[in-house]
Chain A
Amino acid sequence: MRTSAIIHQQICQLRWHLLACAGLIMVLPIEEAVVGLWEGDGFHSIRMVYAVITFSPLLAGLIACANVQGDLSEKRYIFWRSKPANVKKLMALKFFVGLTLSLTIVACPLVFALVSTALCGEDLGWQTFKHYVPVPIVVAMMTYSLCFGCNVLVRNTARSWLIGLFLAGFALVIPLMLPLGFKDVVTDIGFRAFGFYPATIFVTSVAAFVFALYAAQHDWHLKTNLRELLWVGTGLVFLLLILFSSQVANIRVLDEKEVDGSRWAQGTLDKVGDRLIFEGLNYVDVGKRDISLHEIVSNGASVVNPPLYGNTGMNSQGHQVIYGPRAKGYITTSYPRRLNALYMDTEDGTYHFGIIAYFRLEGEGSRKEKVHEKVYLRSYKLVGNSWRVVDELNISDFIGDRVNYLRMAMRLIDNTLVACVNQSYVVADVTDPGDLRLIDKRLDALKGNWSLRHMDLQSEFDIPIIPVEGISIEERIKLSIDLRYRFSYFRNDIYKSSMVDTHNGKIAFFSVSEQGVAWFDVIRWDQKTAYCKFTSVRPFTILEGMIWAASSLHDRTFVENGKLYLSRQNTLLVFDVRVSRGIRKLGHFVRMDWNIEDIAVLDDGNMLLSAQWLDYMGAGHFEVRKRYLCLLKNPK
């Protein structure tokens, strides 16, 4: 087989198509350049080059279809097939000649832009050029391969072009549509989400190419008609819709209740014994498949304008009482955000503990900074259906300088409470939660690197252990990890929140970033240092990544019964983390206009979710319009 003869044949066979495509792709850049010259800006083109490059996959597909169409009509096919030609080699040669010609056509406007801007002394915008141009070119290569494969099979230029374009679109959309992706099947493969598109494009292109060779070799021929194609196309669109709907919400909603937004300040859920308290002095009854809301009635009248958690309570006359400095313009942050994190049941009743910090916003306009001034360790008692502050320790001197960011961690071991703020810790005896007693207090006890770095992934790293006396080393390790990683809201940090617990017999923690969920195990320790090892990562799919990119303080990360629950803004994800070899996604729930505030896993396995619906008021300001409680089926 003479290669030069085949190349010559291909170029001659495609000459009119190439001329037409070159004309199509160059007309707009030349028009832009001519207009620029007319207006005195010089003969150069940039914007239109971007525009036409965007459409280059269409032209590449057209060239692919024209490439072998001339060889595939039945009688001509027999003519050259009856010669001793190696079909695969011949087709591969034709494929690459066509691909080279397609890329040459696509390169025309790029070269024109480079040369014309250089000659006119204009700025090409190299950064944008460098980042934008490869994308349509790679997509064009995939479209070319698909159209080539379709043409070999369908043997009709127009139909194979349309089918090829449709498949290319499908291949590009499919990574967005997969609810339980490839990553859930092969969890050990730790490639990142951004690698998914190149992988899809590469695999699709190679598959289409190999398929084309086999189809030509075995003379596979798919007879099509327009009606059948329409049906298949419609079927695929439906498939996409089904995939999309299962991606958006494959967790089943059992019941949903809208709650008057003005009656709850925050949507935190507390599970105390067999009762579920929905913050704001109301409570919720949850059946197997439905929810009932109960309003707290005090002295025969319902409570209006319920108080904010932690700062307020009710006196014996049912009047609202406001504690703390909120009335003076302070805003709170608290730890733990969920009330049920640190509970203590005594004969006297149910208590919980929390760190409450107060900050002011200082500065002008959009440059306001959050400045923390006061921090309290508080104990609360459950009275009726509300939590009432019963005692507090002022630990404001832990802040040191006025800072805009606080790192907090807390652990309750028997009757000893350890609370950390920034680099200090306090140990309190909480035998009587109504009377907190300070046992130990140390400032600047913790030093070292706070955040998890890229390099920690797939490697071992160590964490200095908080030198608290009187508690076990395991608890100290958990406290150290908690303090270090739970609320690391640093920009450019990979992991922004994490939780720590004993998991599969090991101390483990899970960290969440915009890229995915990572699992780390503590593999050994001594008195000063704990050594951690990366176990597994589950990168987010592109759609998950897009949702996760919108960071929020309301995110929740916790492990319960071998399942990892993640929520941020409008999304809840549930992962299976029972098997040590990886993290597998079980379910996905999204409500685009919701802001999820809290999740509680109920005794029967179902999930209760509280959310708010925010209305944009302009100038970056949102107002809570509605609140929702939603009962969800826990995916298995």
Chain B
Amino acid sequence: MTEPAIKIEGLHFSYGKKHVLKGVDLEVPKGSIFGFLGRNGAGKTTMIKTLLGLQKPQAGRCLVGGLDSVTDTLEVRRRIGFMAEDQQMYGWMTVSRIIKWVAGFYPNWDDKFVDELAEVLSLPKDAKVKALSKGQNSSLALLLALGHRPDIVILDDPTLGLDPIARKDFLRHVIDLLQSNGVTVFFSSHLLYEIEPVADHIAILNDGVIIKACKTEQLRESVRKFALTPAPGADFSQVPGILDALKVGESVSIAIDGCDPAKKARLKEMSANGMTETALNLDEIFEAYVIGNRGRELTAH
């Protein structure tokens, strides 16, 4: 088995008394585009900061390419290309100056590649950073994250603040550039429609723990929604993996994780007059995982 690009083991982190990460375990396969989902404040940025060695975890460790982010911080950062949400750079520098400045930190900076990227991203090299549009600013940040040809690229909500068209443009560039190079992409976002078309792996972080981590296809396959009218005496607590349940009139709508024939048969038994099965998109799956009531509404009745 190949070594994962990123391995996180039992990660705990607190800001004072606020326990943000409560034992995160995660593996990001090499060459994958890994969608890292979570609501605002779920701890995504905190985990990325810890991954980059910007803060020391209270417990657990992060391995990037087999290197510990706390003890081998500089080497880890050399291997990673990072683009933060709403990235702020030195506004008084010109694009070419900031490229030169960042290049100073990397011994393996690829000027030719950067020139090509600047061309692809249509970045005006003589313009001052403060004069760039938001889209151009994000493109510059991406360029600065990729200039040293990193093994792993971490994108933390990279399209935050961009309008829909700029966002689409940006993502197209990202995918074109990265997929062809076999780079591992760790893409954190709370905008699921951004991740859905590109991510081959998904992890959902909620309240400081990873509640789901698997391949995107697998996630789509395993989470299903059923609509049925419950038979008298139906006990839904007997059905494992209910993520969300909603009662509308006489009928109920149930989202189930790990849907298999046995679970389907069980539900059918509890149904008074048959049931309908539908597939969920990533947005709905995420909602079911994060804000689903776990069938409490049905149990209460």
The CA-CA distance from A75 to B49 in the complex, in Å, is 12
Whether A79 pairs with B55 at a CB distance below 8 angstroms is no
Closest to B83 in A: A82
Residues 6-28 of A, flagged 1 when their CB comes within 8 A of B and 0 if not, give 10010011000000000000000
| Residue from B52, B54, B77, B90 in contact with A76 in the complex, judged by beta carbons closer than 8 Å | B90
For window 42-88 of A, CB contacts with B under 8 Å fall at: 70, 73, 75-76, 78-79, 81-86
| Residue from A5, A70, A75, A82 in contact with B52 in the complex, judged by beta carbons closer than 8 Å | A82
Q: How many residues of A contact B (CB 8 A)?
A: 20
Whether A75 pairs with B104 at a CB distance below 8 angstroms is no
Whether B104 pairs with A82 at a CB distance below 8 angstroms is no
Q: In this assembly, does A130 line the interface, its C-beta being within 8 Å of a C-beta of chain B?
A: no
Q: In this assembly, does B251 line the interface, its C-beta being within 8 Å of a C-beta of chain A?
A: no
Closest to A6 in B: B104
Q: Provided the pairs A78-B49, A86-B74 are in contact, do residues A9 and B88 lie with their beta carbons within 8 angstroms?
A: no
The CA-CA distance from A508 to B104 in the complex, in Å, is 67
| Residue from A1, A6, A81, A84 in contact with B75 in the complex, judged by beta carbons closer than 8 Å | A84
The CA-CA distance from A2 to B78 in the complex, in Å, is 15
Whether B92 pairs with A75 at a CB distance below 8 angstroms is no
Q: In this assembly, does A219 line the interface, its C-beta being within 8 Å of a C-beta of chain B?
A: yes
Whether B106 pairs with A76 at a CB distance below 8 angstroms is no
Whether A81 pairs with B54 at a CB distance below 8 angstroms is yes
For window 75-114 of A, CB contacts with B under 8 Å fall at: 75-76, 78-79, 81-86
How many residues of B sit at the interface, in one of the four size bands? Answer: 20 to 34
Contacts of B86 in A (CB 8 A): 75
Majority secondary structure of chain A interface residues (helix, strand, loop or mixed): helix
The CA-CA distance from A9 to B49 in the complex, in Å, is 25
Contacts of B298 in A (CB 8 A): none
Q: In this assembly, does B177 line the interface, its C-beta being within 8 Å of a C-beta of chain A?
A: no
Contacts of A76 in B (CB 8 A): 88-90
Question: Distance in Å from the Cβ of B110 to the closest Cβ of chain A?
Answer: 15
Contacts of B106 in A (CB 8 A): 83-84
Whether B104 pairs with A79 at a CB distance below 8 angstroms is no
Closest to A9 in B: B101
Closest to A218 in B: B56
Question: Distance in Å from the Cβ of B96 to the closest Cβ of chain A?
Answer: 12
For window 39-93 of B, CB contacts with A under 8 Å fall at: 49, 52, 54-55, 74-75, 77-78, 80, 82, 84, 86-90, 92-93
Q: In this assembly, does B266 line the interface, its C-beta being within 8 Å of a C-beta of chain A?
A: no
Whether A84 pairs with B105 at a CB distance below 8 angstroms is yes
Question: Distance in Å from the Cβ of B89 to the closest Cβ of chain A?
Answer: 6
Whether A219 pairs with B55 at a CB distance below 8 angstroms is yes
Q: Provided the pairs A6-B104, A79-B84 are in contact, do residues A13 and B78 lie with their beta carbons within 8 angstroms?
A: no
Contacts of B89 in A (CB 8 A): 76, 79
The CA-CA distance from A13 to B98 in the complex, in Å, is 12
Q: Provided the pairs A78-B54, A84-B106 are in contact, do residues A13 and B92 lie with their beta carbons within 8 angstroms?
A: yes
Whether B54 pairs with A219 at a CB distance below 8 angstroms is yes
Whether B90 pairs with A82 at a CB distance below 8 angstroms is no
Contacts of A82 in B (CB 8 A): 52, 54, 77, 80, 82, 84
| Residue from B88, B100, B105 in contact with A75 in the complex, judged by beta carbons closer than 8 Å | B88
Residue of A76, A78, A86 with highest tally of chain B CB at under 10 A: A78
Whether A12 pairs with B54 at a CB distance below 8 angstroms is no
Question: Distance in Å from the Cβ of A92 to the closest Cβ of chain B?
Answer: 16
Closest to B73 in A: A84
For window 91-117 of B, CB contacts with A under 8 Å fall at: 92-93, 100-106
The CA-CA distance from A76 to B77 in the complex, in Å, is 16
6 A-B residue contacts at CB 8 Å?
A5-B100, A5-B103, A84-B75, A84-B106, A86-B74, A219-B55
**Residues of A with Cβ closer than 8 Å to B?**
1-2, 5-6, 9, 12-13, 70, 73, 75-76, 78-79, 81-86, 219
